[in-house]
Amino acid sequence: MSDIFPSTVWSQIRVGDDADRRRTAFSELVLRYGDPIRVWIRAAFRVQEDDASDLTQDFLSWVLESEFLTKADPSLGRFRAFLKTALRRYVIDDRRRQRAAKRGGGAHAVELADEVAPGESPEERLDLAWRASLVQRALAQVEEAMRADGRERAFALFRDYYVEPEEGVDYATLAAKHGISEVDVSNALARTKKRYRAELKAQVVESVQTAEDLEVELRWLFGKDGA
């Protein structure tokens, strides 16, 4: 397999019994995937934000500790698809625990909703949050790198045109705002956009195993595929 597919995510969650690696993996999973998972949980459970955060941490701990990982073959799927499967499995098991507790006279702190709210399914909401997380992470990486290169203005142009555009923004208004020519605006935007797309691709590569999976994720990410 090509070195372009480092299997970063899969290597992070296959940590075995190493306590230090487990703590590091847990922190990284919360940082990268906490928001999409919280969105999914809030769409599937009737819970407040604090409860959703607690359940997110419970789920990620389960991912690292359960035997589910021993049955998951990273060569057969993308991490996003794996995460959805794991979440569904977790909800099914949690629901069984709730029912068992009720039959035994116990009480569970969180009630699972029989139906989610109208609109997107929990999986669709996870996809949207996942996409937003990837975009924000890529933007942060590009901004940090360009600041280090002394190219703050080029990133500011990209932000003003693509990320936080004011109504009616065009090359002429950006040129006037930043004191450069429209040609310079065009060139800076093209270079920064290329850099941003490369960083976004790098973020996706970390969660796939094959060129085919990468193509599927990129089509989905750029709105050409709902997979």
Residue 65 included in any domain: yes
Residue 37 included in any domain: yes
CB atoms within 10 A of CB 40: 30
The least confident of 136-140, 189-193, 220-224 is 220-224
Q: What is the band of 110 on the pLDDT scale with cuts at 50, 70, 90?
A: very low
- β strands within the chain, DSSP E: none
CA–CA separation, 117 vs 114, rounded Å?
10
DSSP code of 76? G
Residue 42 included in any domain: yes
Could you tell me the residue range of the domain that residue 93 belongs to? 8-120
Rounded mean pLDDT of 5-25?
Answer: 60
Computed over every residue of the chain, the mean pLDDT equals 77
In tens, the pLDDT along 22-54 reads 677 667 777 778 888 888 888 777 778 888 888
Locate tokens 């109208």: which residue? 118
CA–CA separation, 169 vs 171, rounded Å?
7
Beta-bridged to residue 45, according to DSSP, are 112
Residue 216 included in any domain: no
- pTM, rounded to two decimals: 0.62
Identify the pLDDT of residue 140: 93
Q: What is the band of 120 on the pLDDT scale with cuts at 50, 70, 90?
A: low
In tens, the pLDDT along 154-210 reads 999 999 999 999 999 999 999 999 999 999 999 999 999 999 999 988 888 776 767
Higher pLDDT, 200 or 81: 200
Rounded mean pLDDT of 98-115?
Answer: 53
Residue 84 Cα distances to 1, 48, 128, 179, 193, angstroms? 25, 21, 13, 48, 30
Residue 194 included in any domain: no
Buried residues in 44-53 as b, exposed as e (16+ CB within 10 A): bbebeeebbb
Q: Does the pLDDT value for residue 13 go beyond 70?
A: no
Residue 12 included in any domain: yes
Residues 6+ apart with CB under 8 A from 77: 209, 213
Residue 21 included in any domain: yes
**Tokens representing residue 111 in the block:** 């009630």
CA–CA separation, 211 vs 192, rounded Å?
25
**Tokens representing residue 6 in the block:** 């480092």
Q: Does the pLDDT value for residue 216 go beyond 60?
A: yes
Q: What is the band of 109 on the pLDDT scale with cuts at 50, 70, 90?
A: very low
Residue 64 included in any domain: yes
Domain count, the chain: 1
Which H/E stretch holds residue 211?
Answer: helix 211-221
